Amino acid sequence: MTDNAIGEAASLIALDWGTSALRAYLMDVDGVVLDTRSSDRGIQNLAQPGHAGFEKAFAEIRAGWPEGLPVIAGGMVGSAQGWKEAPYISCPVDFAQLADASVHVTTETGDDVLIAPGMIYRPDHGQPDVMRGRRSRSQALLRNTPSLASTPSFSCQAHTQNGSGFRKARLSTSPPI
> Which pLDDT value is given to residue 1?
67
Question: Where does the pLDDT of residue 57 fall: very low under 50, low under 70, confident under 90, or very high at 90 and above?
Answer: very high
Instruction: Give the fold, CATH level 3, of 3-172.
Output: Nucleotidyltransferase; domain 5 (3.30.420)
Distance CA 129, CA 159 (A): 11
DSSP secondary structure string for all residues of 32-59: -EEEEEEES--TTS-SSSHHHHHHHHHH
Over 122-149, what HEC string results? CCCCCCCEEECHHHCCCEEECCCCCEEE
> Which pLDDT value is given to residue 127?
87
Choice among 32-41, 43-52, 103-112, 124-133 with the minimum mean pLDDT? 124-133
**Reduced DSSP (H G I as helix, E B as strand, rest coil) percent helix, strand, coil of the chain, to 5:** 20, 35, 45
Percent of the chain scored above 70 by pLDDT?
A: 72
> Which pLDDT value is given to residue 130?
83
Question: Which tens digits make up the pLDDT trace of 129-169?
Answer: 888 754 444 333 333 333 333 333 322 233 333 333 333 33
Q: Where are the domains of the chain?
A: 3-172
Q: β-strand 112-115 against 139-141: which pairing, if any?
A: unpaired
